[in-house]
Chain A
Amino acid sequence: MRNERIMEHLESMLEPTQINTDAADLYDASADRYKKYAKARNVLDVPPPLAIVYPKSSEQVSDLLVFCNENLINVIPRAGKTATEGGLENWKEQTLVIDTKLLDKIIKIDTYNMQATVQAGVPLQELEDELRKEGFTTGHSPQSKPVAKFGGLVATRSIGQFSTLYGAIEDMVVGLECVFADGHICKIKNVPRRSGGPDIRHIAIGNEGTLCYITEVTVKIFKIYPENNTFLGYLIHDIDTGIKVLREVMVNGFRPSVARTYSEEDAAQHFYHFHKGHCVLLFMAEGPDLIVRATAKAIEEAVEKFQDGIIEQVDSKHIENWFNNLNWSQQDIDDEFEGMKEHDCHSGFTTEISADWETIPKIYYSVMKRVREEYPRAHDLTMLGGHSSHSYINGTNMYFVYNYDIRCAPEDEMRVYHHPLQRIIVEETLKLGGSMCHHHGIGKFRNEWTKQEHGSAYYMLEKLKEAFDPNGIMNFGTIFYQEAGAKYQ
């Protein structure tokens, strides 16, 4: 179908205010934060979408998907635009971005049954603010909280800074509504638990817009006790000590809301006022008073057990202040964008992986060794380090963080800097049995390893794609490798 005909059809389906063809907005919609430097420098190599559309209901989403499915038009579902792995990047000439902007209602806050239902375009911060008025919280606090919206949070299997206590988004979602490429609207009801066959919520959670479009979400809510918040921080000799203490706390059955350890390099950029050139270990305990006190005591005992690796305790005020200023605002994102127009540097690129307790230090040191020995632009790195920020009873994550000066054309930045580093991290992680993506999703730039990530279980993922998106219109290139998209990688 020709582009003009597509636009005519859209105009017959939607009001004019629901269709956006502004050139600057389309340029912005052609890529997400993955290629933020190239985007800031106006050198993106991917095509813009034909239009951004704003449906007002699940039925309108359904109509749009049916139209796209019948005419083989690529669809990119979009919510808060905080994606970091290329999930919102466009690789097709004919693409519609279906944005959740007008799906913006908080449908119900049910404090008796401890759950809240929202449309996909509701910002997390908005629900959180409403809940706080009544002494509750979502328990979900990703760094992007002020900007991120529920549709995106669920579609990417988001995680928040307090996940060790509250869990990640998949632990919070009670039920949801989603629309498939053929227009079928599915509503998964809200119950505490069921054993009605496989848990079909997980077809939608983490699908990254490749299987369905999420329109509504119901999440658990939690009582909040901010007056009990307790912060503990330590300078430590090495990241191994930090991981050992984290493990000790977790396997003994305690759930601090925050449990993190940082390498020297990463600590230096986060905790300039107290790191003293050392690794950092920190905790936050929250909840009812007795639980907080027991958790804090367990942390102190774990620290005592590994005291040979502990240098000194840090004033808890430092930890508290740091947490209070951790989230990005839209202003921070805009400032970063403007900064990249002026400076040839990139700060805070990350690749996040996970593995069991035994394996995570091995991955960390293998990656550091390979980067030092193999990476030809190591002299442009201004920082390379990492931290563990989400722990479980059987393991933890590792957030590799790197900053670098950019000494190449802006359009070459990713293949000169980020991609070779990401490749080393992913290869070492997969080789040692970890997961190549802990919480950012696969997006479009780790799709070449999706098969390796899942191994024999990739069969299930592939069959889901065949069943729910047989025409391949849902977010081309995300999760599933596409030869035709390789030119953009």
Chain B
Amino acid sequence: MHIICLVKFVPDVSAFNYDYNTSSMVNTHTKMVLNPDDVHALSFALQVKRKWPETYLEVVSMASPSVTVYMHDLLRLSVDKGTLLSDPLYAGSDTYATSEVLGTYLKGQHYDCIITGSRSLDGATSQVPAQIAQMLGLDHLLDITEVDMNHLSSNEAQCTVETDTEIQTWSIQMPAVLSFARNSRAKLPYPTFEALQKDVSGKLFMISNQDLGLKRDSVGLEGSLTKVVHTYEAENMSRAKTVVGVNDEGIDLLVQFLEKRGYL
């Protein structure tokens, strides 16, 4: 089986710093992490490869070259090939323009199955997997929680999808786009010490717009259909921390705080 796994690296929201004086995010030194839904998708692909070692696994990401070190880490996990779609023209792409870039690349590739996460941590629209499926003329399943390894082949996959009200089992014809819901139990395996020492740069391929040949006005900000009307600061980010001492004054303040919110 030939699997292509689409992944995105997103800012690590747990490591954000907030400047309470200027009410702004401090983005310096922000770390990137693999999008949690994509972790689920990739961990599934690696399970498939463990069970059927002849499986060919390619990881594709559209990002700036700064994610190269993170792509290298994925290539140390028995991923066969990494592809980074990267061009300054792609900066500012919305989900439509992103799907355009990814879809154009995928049109020229061989695959039995395209897998990815359903939502990205920094966007959460879940539009990209569906748009890619449409561009490629494939079926698509959103929010997969499990794929039955006993009913998985290059022709068909049996998948479980959980909605708010029910658990559904679907059988889907391959090739297809399977997008995975977040699963906090899904973890990528550890690379071995030996794998960490390996130079894997030869397995990572950089693809620019020169290779894909997309028109300038179909990508990046120009090619984006999304128009930002207004931005606002999430209310919870403006809450300042209050440090109280272990004294009568501090205890009174804490009690008032809890009473005001109905905890006492």
Residues on A lying within 8 angstroms of B by beta carbon are 268, 272-273, 276-277, 321, 377, 379, 382, 405, 407-410, 412, 415-416
Binary A-proximity of B6-38 (CB < 8 A = 1, otherwise 0):
000000000101010100001000011000000
**A415 adjacent to B241 (CB under 8 Å):** no
Binary A-proximity of B179-198 (CB < 8 A = 1, otherwise 0):
00000000000111100100
B228 at interface, CB cutoff 8 A = no
* Chain B contact patch, size range: 10 to 19
**A277 adjacent to B196 (CB under 8 Å):** no
- Cα distance, A387 to B99, chains bound together (Å): 47
Residue of B nearest to A268 (CB): B17
Residue of B nearest to A416 (CB): B196
Closest CB in chain A relative to B25 CB, distance in Å: 12
| Chain A contacts for B193, CB-based, 8 A | 408-409, 412, 415-416
- Cα distance, A277 to B17, chains bound together (Å): 10
Between-chain CB contacts (< 8 Å), 18 pairs = A273-B243, A276-B21, A277-B19, A321-B243, A321-B245, A377-B196, A379-B32, A379-B69, A379-B70, A382-B31, A405-B31, A407-B73, A408-B190, A408-B191, A409-B193, A412-B190, A416-B193, A416-B196
- Cα distance, A405 to B15, chains bound together (Å): 11
- Cα distance, A273 to B192, chains bound together (Å): 40
Closest CB in chain B relative to A233 CB, distance in Å: 15
Closest CB in chain B relative to A327 CB, distance in Å: 16
| Chain B contacts for A416, CB-based, 8 A | 193, 196
Closest CB in chain A relative to B246 CB, distance in Å: 10
Closest CB in chain B relative to A265 CB, distance in Å: 8
| Chain B contacts for A277, CB-based, 8 A | 19, 26
What is the total of A-B residue contacts with beta carbons within 8 Å?
36
| Chain B contacts for A272, CB-based, 8 A | 241
Contact of B192 among A276, A377, A405, A409 (CB under 8 A): A409
The list of the 10 closest CB pairs from A to B, nearest first, reads A409-B190, A412-B193, A379-B69, A273-B243, A408-B190, A416-B196, A408-B196, A408-B191, A382-B15, A407-B73
- Cα distance, A272 to B26, chains bound together (Å): 13
**B17 adjacent to A379 (CB under 8 Å):** no
Residue of B nearest to A379 (CB): B69
20 additional A-B pairs beyond A277-B19, A412-B190, beta carbons within 8 Å, are A273-B243, A276-B19, A276-B21, A277-B26, A321-B243, A321-B245, A377-B196, A379-B31, A379-B32, A379-B69, A382-B31, A407-B73, A408-B191, A409-B192, A409-B193, A410-B190, A412-B193, A412-B196, A415-B193, A416-B193
Closest CB in chain A relative to B255 CB, distance in Å: 20
- Cα distance, A407 to B70, chains bound together (Å): 11
Closest CB in chain B relative to A267 CB, distance in Å: 12
Closest CB in chain A relative to B20 CB, distance in Å: 9
Closest CB in chain A relative to B90 CB, distance in Å: 22
Closest CB in chain B relative to A411 CB, distance in Å: 8
Closest CB in chain B relative to A65 CB, distance in Å: 38
Contact of B241 among A268, A273, A408 (CB under 8 A): A273
- Cα distance, A412 to B190, chains bound together (Å): 10
| Chain B contacts for A382, CB-based, 8 A | 15, 31
| Chain A contacts for B31, CB-based, 8 A | 379, 382, 405
| Chain B contacts for A273, CB-based, 8 A | 241, 243
Residue of A nearest to B190 (CB): A409
| Chain B contacts for A408, CB-based, 8 A | 190-191, 193, 196
- Cα distance, A409 to B190, chains bound together (Å): 5
Q: Which of B192-207 contact A (CB under 8 A)?
A: 192-193, 196
Residue of A nearest to B77 (CB): A407
Q: Which of B205-242 contact A (CB under 8 A)?
A: 241
Closest CB in chain A relative to B160 CB, distance in Å: 27
**B245 adjacent to A407 (CB under 8 Å):** no
Residue of A nearest to B66 (CB): A379
| Chain B contacts for A377, CB-based, 8 A | 196
**A407 adjacent to B19 (CB under 8 Å):** no
- Cα distance, A277 to B25, chains bound together (Å): 12
Closest CB in chain A relative to B124 CB, distance in Å: 23
Closest CB in chain B relative to A314 CB, distance in Å: 13
| Chain A contacts for B26, CB-based, 8 A | 277
